[in-house]
Amino acid sequence: MAEGCAIVTGASRGIGAATATALAADGWPVAVNYRSDADGAREVVERIEAAGGRALAIGADVADPDGVADLFERAESGLGSVLALVNNAGMRADGLTPQLAVEDWAAVLETNLSAAFHTTRRALKPMLRARFGRIVNVASIVGPRANAGQANYAASKAGLIGFTKTVAVEVARRGVTVNAVAPGLVETRFTEGMTNGLADAIPARRVGTPEEVASCVRFLVSESAAYVTGTVLTVDGGLSA
């Protein structure tokens, strides 16, 4: 593993927390980013440190370019050059398209898609200099398939997949990989109220866990995935098969 640190956005709970823990277990010092859940982020840091790892909780709104600048400056001063980035921060604001508020459209696109642009653009500078980097974007199976009531969410995740593939092609020659994972139904606070009865439609007949998604991110960040770039790893128990 190259010497440097990892940033995981939206890492105070769920998939982000599991990913931060998994990367720390592989030896990465991890910046645990959060927007509002400071207590959750501190708990993640404590778990990592208890297991012998290094971590730092950093509050920043990654939909704000100034917040991104602050996040990277604090991560670099506390943990070292950022050579791995996991764009996990996300939100939902569901509603059928005719009733979807303009504000809800904009907020979801800013958080789920524009934030990944801001962080990726900033992260690529040290990665390209080091000729090593790993970027993983947490998309969703909702990106390439319809899910009524989530036009904004689907658009943001489909855009994130397109963004992933394009940036991957741009930087592949410099030892930087850019991939996405596309979770299906995963048991987190983010999906509360969505899981009842839906497991019957999943071939695996169950919902996934944050740790199962995190293990896929962990692989994509590892040295073993050096020849994997521009791809989308689906983690959905066979739902989109």
Please state, in angstroms and as integers, the Cα–Cα distance from residue 124 to each residue in 84, 98, 116, 155, 171, following that order. 10, 38, 12, 24, 9
User: What are the beta bridge partners of residue 134?
Assistant: 84, 177
Specify burial of residue 68 (Cβ count, 10 A radius: 0-12, 13-18, 19+): buried
Specify burial of residue 89 (Cβ count, 10 A radius: 0-12, 13-18, 19+): buried
* Spatial distance between the Cα atoms of 156 and 229, rounded to a whole number of angstroms: 20
Our answer to whether residue 227 is catalytic in this structure is no
Neighbours of 236 (CB within 10 A): 20
Q: Annotated catalytic residue: which of 34, 105, 132, 153?
A: 153
Asked if 181 and 236 touch (Cβ cutoff 8 Å), the reply is no
Asked if 5 and 31 touch (Cβ cutoff 8 Å), the reply is yes
Of 5, 23, 44, 33, nearest to 221 by C-alpha is 23
Residues marked active site are found at 153
